[in-house]
Structure 1
Amino acid sequence: MSRIGKKPVELPSGVTASVSGQTVEVKGPKGIRTFKATDDVTITVDGNVVTVKPRGTSKRARQQWGMSRSQVENLVTGVTSGFKKELEITGVGYRATMQGNTLKLALGYSHDVNFEVPAGVIVTAPKQTEIIVEGIDQQLVGQVAANIREWRKPEPYKGKGIRYKGEFIFRKEGKKK
């Protein structure tokens, strides 16, 4: 039995969900999100509650049960409060600025890095050493944050680079005389 799958997903006020076949569509104040479930699960909407049940007792059906319920919950979270990733830039001369739809990063290279922000994601740089990625799609927000971080990962000796807020970087000791 899936402990996650057994819990129903409650819809807050202002959020509606509809199921057509295996596709779940959730509408909320921040937008509309959809998810197509596999044929191994049955999704039903009763008032303000969405429930997911497995079709059969196969291993795949039980795997899809919990995963589908988590996906539906992420749709509801996305259209109500959205998702957010915060990045910090550490290093002398390292900075970020927004120019229109482009994030300009000065990361110690001979040139600035221009990162085009994809549709569906909002990127802001409130300070020169802070980047905030927001959106209603959890996967897209995480991928954009990972792509930005990829330009200069934190290195273990001085800790310079782009890191997630609150991320611990294992520091190494340098050469000894």
Structure 2
Amino acid sequence: MINRRAKLAFPASVCLSFSAAPAMAYPTDLPATQASERVTLATLRGNWSFSTDYYRSGLCQMSGNLHVFEQTKPDLAACVLTAVEVCGAERSVVEQSCEMSFIDGQVEIVSTIEQFIERKPSSLGYLPDNFLLDEVNADEMSGELESAVSSNAVFRRQEGGIS
């Protein structure tokens, strides 16, 4: 998996100055994802909702739900994605099976269309909705929709956490 948004991180502990008093880490000094919140495929299981920014000149937006199941392999979990794409007065609802991988801090969701629950007239040639998420924690993931179009996407944990 290619990290298109590589970020340089410099741990706060390296920046501590030398003094007679012991160094103390304050909550503002801690990295965004703390060791106690270590994210794994297991912690990503459960129900998520998502939405994208508007695309196609502000005409379309996608939202929906993702359910992540148990791991099928050490670095892979099965999932189901229901995407609702609204473009003006047209709407498509697409059920997709998917696989989620979590490698080097990035989540990749690769989908396969199973069925159209609702199909807008212009959805001929609809492609599976894949995502590359590079900001990942236990309650929110963000990155990009990579399908027939690209758009920023945010996934938020639905109430109830891991199921």
TM-score over 0.5 for the pair: no
Q: Larger C-alpha radius of gyration, 1 or 2?
A: 1
> TM-score, with normalisation over the residues of structure 1?
0.27
Larger relative strand fraction: 2
TM-score after normalising by structure 2? 0.29
More helix as a share of residues: 1
